[in-house]
Amino acid sequence: MPQSRPTIACSLLLALAAVAPQARAAGPAFEITPFGGYRIGGQFETRATETVPSQDLDLDEGGSWGVDLGLYRDSSSFYELLYSTSSTGLDTNDPFYADLDVKTEYIHVGGTLLFADERWWAPWFSFTAGATRFSAGGGYDSDTKFSVSMGGGVRVPFNDYVAATAGVRGYLTFVDSDTDLLCVSTGEQGGCLLKSSGSAWYQFEGLIGLTVSFR
């Protein structure tokens, strides 16, 4: 049975708290980066019936938003807790799926490296791992799968405490082939809306945010 979103979030927060003592010993700093983005990618398959074969359905491109929390390990790296979410429809003319919006959420922990050197702007690289949560409302069960992400970009400081952060991030979610997704587990109309189209499910996100540091 999939873990609930509060359970996943608590587990990730506990993991971040476990590394906090090391961060404090190294001279801590804390930052928060709310961001907006734009996501592409993500493909499902429909369930085949006796008269209708399965078909591939792509998620529509669309906006996303999230927040990234950072706890510094030293002046050039920090532990992070990442949350990013987007809700879009499916690219199809099938009226059965026309009004369906699929919400995709990423809840990850990981770390970021900053490469400031002597430049006034700083490139960054991030790696995270955690959970992808699919949901659609309307009585359908949510599904949670393990995922990882890699990202990079630049940070442009306005002063010692505020900076603009821009970059791109790729998400890779691991699923079993032909895994049923968004199912109805009770009631007269049982069944599943979609299934995975392979063993990996990926999306890409461009983002821009405002980083505020507390030192």
Q: How far apart are CA 155 and CA 163, in angstroms?
A: 6
Check residue 120 and report its DSSP letter.
S
pLDDT at 13 over 60: no
pLDDT at 209 over 50: yes
Tokens of 20: 């906090």
Domains and CATH numbers, the chain: 5-214 (2.40.160.20)
pLDDT at 4 over 80: no
Average pLDDT of the segment spanning 189-198 = 76
Nearest to 109 by CA among 96, 121, 94, 127: 127
C-alpha of 112 from chain center: 16
Handedness of CA 41, 59, 135, 185 (dihedral sign): negative
Phi and psi at residue 98, to the nearest 5°: -60, -35
Residues contacting 105, CB < 8 A, separation 6+ = 5, 83, 84, 85, 132, 133, 135
Q: How far apart are CA 23 and CA 29, in angstroms?
A: 8
pLDDT at 49 over 60: yes
What single letter denotes the amino acid at residue 166?
Answer: A
pLDDT of residue 55: 80
Average pLDDT of the segment spanning 168-179 = 91
C-beta atoms surrounding 12 within 10 Å = 21
CA distances from 107 to 6, 67, 97, 136 (A): 11, 10, 26, 17
Q: How far apart are CA 68 and CA 176, in angstroms?
A: 29
pLDDT band at 48 (very low <50, low <70, confident <90, very high): low
pLDDT of residue 75: 84
pLDDT tens figures, 86-145: 999 998 888 888 788 999 999 999 999 999 776 789 999 999 999 999 999 778 899 999
The model carries a pTM of: 0.83
